[in-house]
Structure 1
Amino acid sequence: MRFSSVVKAASAVAFATLVAAEGDSDVLSLTASTFESTVNPESLILVEFFAPWCGHCKALAPHYEEAATTLKEKNIKLAKVDCVEQADLCQSHGVQGYPTLKVFHDGEPSDYTGPRKADGIISYMIKQSLPAVSEVTVANLEEFQKADKIVVLAYLPTPTSSPAPEFSAAANKHRDSYLFGLTSDPEAIAAAGVTPPAIVVYRAFDDPSVEYPYPVPSATVKDIEEWVQDLSIPIIDEVNGENFSIYAQSGKPLAYLFLDPTEEKRDDYIESIRPIATKFKGKVNFVWIDAIKFGDHAKSLNLAEAKWPSFVVQDLEHQLKYPYDQSLTVEPEAVSELVEQFLAGKLEPQLKSQAIPETQDESVYTVVGKNFDEVVYDDSKDVFLELYATWCGHCKRLKPTWDSLGDHFAGVKDRLVIAKIDAPENDLPPSVPFRVSSFPTLKFKPAGSREFLDYNGDRSLESLIAYVEESAKNSLEPKVVVEGENDTQVVFEAHDEL
């Protein structure tokens, strides 16, 4: 059994030195000549690849040092590589940004996916050092129950009783996120006050222990992981860059309470929302967020005024926003009603949109949120749409090519629209079956269809033209107007001579 004194290690975080004195660091400095001889013999070691000029690396440094000091007691080493001095070494390990952290098990690397604060690094690396499922006895039961923020413990008649295989599979899948244990020790089971088979989640927040409410022997990996994931999210907690991924991965809508953290009534506002968060637990995740630090995020959620507290529900799956009217005081009853209406599908999302251009003089048509459906879903036309951001370097480089593409097909703009939309400034309507995660994103919608095709080819003008010619449903032959008899006009499609 490799589990021991986890609580002592976690408690030591508060007493570890933030930054070791110069020359007395517990972080090993590696070079090309020492890397393999240091890393390969270790069953577990964490390596940071950094650049001295990198701001994120500087911010990580004291936390990394603190974690190294604490984990030294567990015989878990932390090391670093200066990628300015050891450029070839970093390149050989596929380092493309700073800081890059990699976990090495017996010389084999894997990406570090944990937090970048000291306690998070310590917790993550302790989990890496343990078997996916730790053996628990009466001797270490109480210690194990409090060993991490989320502890999942199975109490079974024997180590192989159902659902031990499913439980182990779930543990292997989520070992980076949660601490898993199993006991069949009768004394431990008696001390826990449970009747086997049972699975209990122990938490450092909300209800400290929650027992699996369904028949345990038939629990599957999916059942266990979904139950634990739901319990791993507090009723209401502060959200930030460290834990946002937990909420994003849950797939549930996210309700934000934006607060000024210096406000005297901050805790009162949070507690007034807690009963509502409890009421909708499992359907909507509730968080509070630093409105001063994350003011730009408030704007992206269509909270136009810097007025706090403010409240908004975000449908993460469809990237739709439902803000509470900022002209009104945030009242718990009204918040509850808004969430109720949202879940019932009775609320219309608030869509951000630039003004519709008064004229469209360019060969590339400017689409905004307000005219998206009208322009893009015009069944009579093929539409090739660029979703861009003004700050995106790739978008800036594409612009002259995209303009040239519009010029090339200017003669058939009655059948083909080369278009663009500033995605950060214009919300896509609910009718759109995709969301944008990178820029530029290029989508082709054939005439008469509601399907959007992804363009993943190179961005040369020749390739874009070829793609349009291949994908368009309408004829791309330009029309020629000639004068007929009695001053009538006759329209012909131009064709090459045979």
Structure 2
Amino acid sequence: MKLLLCLTSFSISLVFASDVLYYSNKDFAENIPTHDLALVEFFAPWCADCTMLDPLYEDAARILKDNDPPVPLIKVDCTVDTATCVQYGAQHYPTFKVMRNGEAEDYKGRVTAADIVKNLKYMAGPASKELKTVEDVEAFLAHDDYSVIGFFRNEKSDLAKIYRKVADPLKLEVLFAHTTEQAIRDKYNYNNDIVLFQPKIYQNEFEEPIRKYDGEASTQKITEWIKKQRLGLCAERTTENSEKFPKPLFVVYYDVNFFLNKEDTIYWRNRVLKVAKKFQDAGIDVNFAISHHHIWVHELGTFGLTEEQNGKPVFVPRDKPVVTARDTRGRKYVMPDEFSEDNLEKFVNDVLQEKIENYLKSDPIPLSNDEPVKVVVARNFDEIVNNEEKDVLIEFYAPWCAHCTTMEPKYKELAERLKDEKDLIIAKMDATTNELPKPYEYSKFPIIYFSAKGKKKNPKLYTDILEIDDLIKFIAKESTNELKGYTRRGIMRKKTEL
């Protein structure tokens, strides 16, 4: 009883040791330049994603503190130390920045403990690892990443110097190593050569697993060669490397997993590789990739390949892969036939030769479009909005949007008032059923843009009050030619002036 009373007489708090450093505004400015390399998480305590990441971040910090050299992981509370967060552009949470001697750059890797450790170790270490023995080479190649080894007579050769320049910016994409040891060069029969090694898991009968660079000793040429060889005939396309794939690009989606679903992954990839090899042998520049369908649900939705379940887009796996494409102009295509080698080859040829209609999420083009407010859909967007003969004011709306419903009679009245302006079109488009072309975008509804003649690539976003007179002032100011019924300030002209 006395013990109980004693315990209840004090407030007891448990403090857990953390390997993550917490910096305030003052600490950050003073301490961050002292680190050669660090990773900073800008967070908010109320952020659910931040809370979920806490144990992963702690795990990575524990491992990286013992790295050679150590790499600190840092956190900044943006609800308290706002100035620092604003300075480094942390507008959403969590935001991660890599700091090199006080200079910030975006962290582009996945946010898992393993990936943070891997990426930061690569950044902290030398661009290229020195290999001293044959056993070193064997250990270096015993993983599932693409590797490049420079076999040099000495480190001062011109090719060795160029190699180091190539390795530094690419070391997060490919593992680099080098050697000058005679025994290694004799063993592998390379002498002053740069060689790419494909990991065993990706090896196949359609491409060489070991490829030697035989071009000119140029930083640009070697960089381009490594990037191309890294993708090969058909690489796995992930959220981390998706921007590395050039167009035209044909993506085959299925349950891609070289570890948990190895047999099926290799089976379907081999079918794609066989087709890719045909195009390579024919000298046709086309690119192929495989992607996991669940990872790319959002992208598949932009091709019309998902369905709604409980208000969310869901991809329902098929017995066979599905295939999409983007041509060099960014236009989208969906293979209409069931997957087979012959159908894939035909689809590629049809896209390259423009024998197939591109996919565009669009309502049907209206049979009649004579009202003052013109109806725009994705398939007539270029014809109406990008028409260089007309200025266009376009509203993007959603049928369920209450503000849009309130705006509708005002927008109609606006169009009625300006219907005699021959060089102006007032238009609207349902953004929920039609695909918006770049650079148009929305974060709320309604959104209104003005697309002037000669400035179609740079439409002007309307940000003022959604009232008729204010819209007229905006149009009058932005219009290519002065409106007949209004001055440049949006003031209605007298009849004697017309």
Please report the TM-score for the alignment, with normalisation by the length of structure 1: 0.73
Alignment of 1:458-473 (within 5 A): 459-460=463-464, 461=471, 464-469=474-479, 471-472=480-481
Alignment of 1:25-174 (within 5 A): 25-32=18-25, 34-36=27-29, 38-74=31-67, 75-138=70-133, 140-146=136-142, 149-174=145-170
Partner secondary structure for residue 202 of structure 2: coil
2:5 counterpart residue number = none
Partner secondary structure for residue 452 of structure 1: coil
Q: Of the two structures, which has the highest relative contact order with CA contacts closer than 8 Å and spacing of 6 or more? A: 1
Q: Name the CA shift for 1:237/1:155 in 2 (closer, same or farther; >3 Å).
A: closer
Q: Name the CA shift for 1:314/1:131 in 2 (closer, same or farther; >3 Å).
A: same
Q: How many Å separate the matches in 1 of 2:58 and 2:77?
A: 15
Which of 321, 331, 351 pairs up with 1:320?
331
The CA deviation at 1:50 is 1.1
Q: How many Å separate the matches in 1 of 2:430 and 2:450?
A: 14
The CA deviation at 1:495 is 8.1
The CA deviation at 1:350 is 2.8
1:347 counterpart residue number = 356
Please report the TM-score for the alignment, with normalisation by the length of structure 2: 0.73
Matched, 1:233 2:242: no
One-letter code aligned to 1:272: W
CA contact (8 A) 1:321 1:349 kept: yes
The CA deviation at 1:334 is 1.8
Q: How many Å separate the matches in 1 of 2:104 and 2:424?
A: 50
1:277 counterpart residue number = 273
The CA deviation at 1:129 is 0.9
Q: Name the CA shift for 1:98/1:164 in 2 (closer, same or farther; >3 Å).
A: same
The CA deviation at 1:83 is 2.2
The CA deviation at 1:99 is 1.0
CA contact (8 A) 1:236 1:274 kept: no
Partner secondary structure for residue 305 of structure 2: coil
Partner secondary structure for residue 419 of structure 2: helix
Unaligned runs of 5+ in 1: 1-20, 429-433, 480-492
One-letter code aligned to 2:374: Y
1:486 counterpart residue number = none
The CA deviation at 1:186 is 2.3
Q: Name the CA shift for 1:214/1:462 in 2 (closer, same or farther; >3 Å).
A: farther
Q: Deviations over 1:60-80 (max 9, x none)?
A: 333322322322221222122
Matched, 1:210 2:217: no
1:311 counterpart residue number = 322
Q: Deviations over 1:324-379 (max 9, x none)?
A: 33xx5433332232223323433221332113346658644221133335434667
The CA deviation at 1:312 is 2.6
When the two structures are aligned, how many residues end up with a matched partner?
443
1:431 counterpart residue number = none
One-letter code aligned to 1:68: A
CA contact (8 A) 1:411 1:478 kept: no
Q: How many Å separate the matches in 1 of 2:410 and 2:149?
A: 57
Q: How many Å separate the matches in 2 of 1:401 and 1:72?
A: 63
Q: Name the CA shift for 1:412/1:253 in 2 (closer, same or farther; >3 Å).
A: same
1:11 counterpart residue number = none
Q: Which segment drifts farther, 435-444 or 180-189?
A: 435-444
Q: How many Å separate the matches in 2 of 1:308 and 1:335?
A: 18
Which of 253, 273, 288 pairs up with 2:291?
288
One-letter code aligned to 1:119: A
Q: Name the CA shift for 1:494/1:437 in 2 (closer, same or farther; >3 Å).
A: closer
Q: Which segment drifts farther, 143-152 or 314-323?
A: 143-152
CA contact (8 A) 1:157 1:197 kept: no
Q: How many Å separate the matches in 2 of 1:166 and 1:477?
A: 65
The CA deviation at 1:98 is 1.0
What RMSD, in angstroms, separates the aligned Cα atoms of the two structures? 4.3
Which of 222, 230, 233 pairs up with 2:220?
222
Q: Deviations over 1:87-141 (max 9, x none)?
A: 3443344322211112223333333222212222122111211233444433743
Q: Percent identity?
A: 24
Q: How many Å separate the matches in 2 of 1:369 and 1:43?
A: 50
Partner secondary structure for residue 211 of structure 1: strand
The CA deviation at 1:229 is 1.9
1:452 counterpart residue number = 456
2:343 counterpart residue number = 334
Partner secondary structure for residue 63 of structure 1: helix
Partner secondary structure for residue 454 of structure 1: coil
One-letter code aligned to 1:384: V
Q: How many Å separate the matches in 2 of 1:209 and 1:437?
A: 44
Q: How many Å separate the matches in 1 of 2:292 and 2:379?
A: 30
One-letter code aligned to 1:151: S
Q: How many Å separate the matches in 2 of 1:195 and 1:286?
A: 33
Q: How many Å separate the matches in 1 of 2:409 and 2:141?
A: 60
CA contact (8 A) 1:409 1:416 kept: no
One-letter code aligned to 2:150: A
CA contact (8 A) 1:133 1:171 kept: yes
1:490 counterpart residue number = none
One-letter code aligned to 1:322: Y
Q: How many Å separate the matches in 1 of 2:212 and 2:409?
A: 58
2:374 counterpart residue number = 365
Partner secondary structure for residue 341 of structure 1: helix
Partner secondary structure for residue 22 of structure 2: strand
Q: How many Å separate the matches in 1 of 2:115 and 2:440?
A: 27
One-letter code aligned to 1:314: A
Partner secondary structure for residue 241 of structure 2: helix
CA contact (8 A) 2:234 2:272 kept: no
Unaligned runs of 5+ in 2: 1-13, 278-284, 308-314, 465-470, 487-492
1:186 counterpart residue number = 182
2:467 counterpart residue number = none
CA contact (8 A) 1:405 1:418 kept: no
Q: Name the CA shift for 1:265/1:140 in 2 (closer, same or farther; >3 Å).
A: closer
